[in-house]
Amino acid sequence: MHGPSLPSPWVQRFAALLRPGGSVLDVACGSGRHVQWLSEQGFAVTGVDRDAGALAAVEGQAELLVADIEGGPWPLPGRRFDGVVVTNYLWRPLFPQLRAALAEGGVYLHETFADGHQHIGRPARPDFLLQRGELLQACAGLRIVAFEDGFEEGPTGGRYVQRIAAVHEAHGATVPVRYPLGTTAGG
């Protein structure tokens, strides 16, 4: 994989927390850069997006659902996943469904634009920009493994971003889990 289809380094880094061979939900997956990469890592991936044309790029690599998750009902009621991945997407009313879709022991990875980005590019509307610490609030009650909120330099000038890796810890665990930091799955 190369160019714009590269998976997020954040997702690559924290995919190591996912149960090997587990199920992963990629929300608003677009053309499927994470669907493809996670499938290649051996995960059973479900991708959801409203654009059927974009999903065609990864047809046959995963379970794909065309759904309007902003204007329609949640397309996966009652389903639980070992991982939920969200990148470059924010729809605040969806936070409860994303939490409910996370199985015990599951990993939540979310990375998107943050307040400040409106001064350098799009998205610029507050509806699409996380406020300071907002992902921490959305993940209250989960074990926060990593969190970043700041400006990231990049080849196109950079972006303001917020990202989190959080785990829905198993109830009744007597030995603390060692969550690896600084690792990349498949590398």
Predicted confidence band of residue 21 (pLDDT cuts 50, 70, 90) = very high
Asked whether the predicted pLDDT for residue 162 surpasses 70, the reply is yes
Closest among 156, 148, 149 to 122, alpha carbons compared: 156
Asked whether the predicted pLDDT for residue 187 surpasses 50, the reply is no
Asked whether the predicted pLDDT for residue 169 surpasses 80, the reply is yes
| Rounded distance between C-alpha atoms, residue 184 and residue 187, angstroms | 6
Alpha-carbon torsion (34, 36, 37, 38), positive or negative: positive
pTM value is 0.89
**CA separation, residue 111 to residues 57, 71, 78, 83 (Å):** 22, 22, 24, 14
Strand locations in 28-142 (E): 44-49, 63-66, 81-87, 102-113
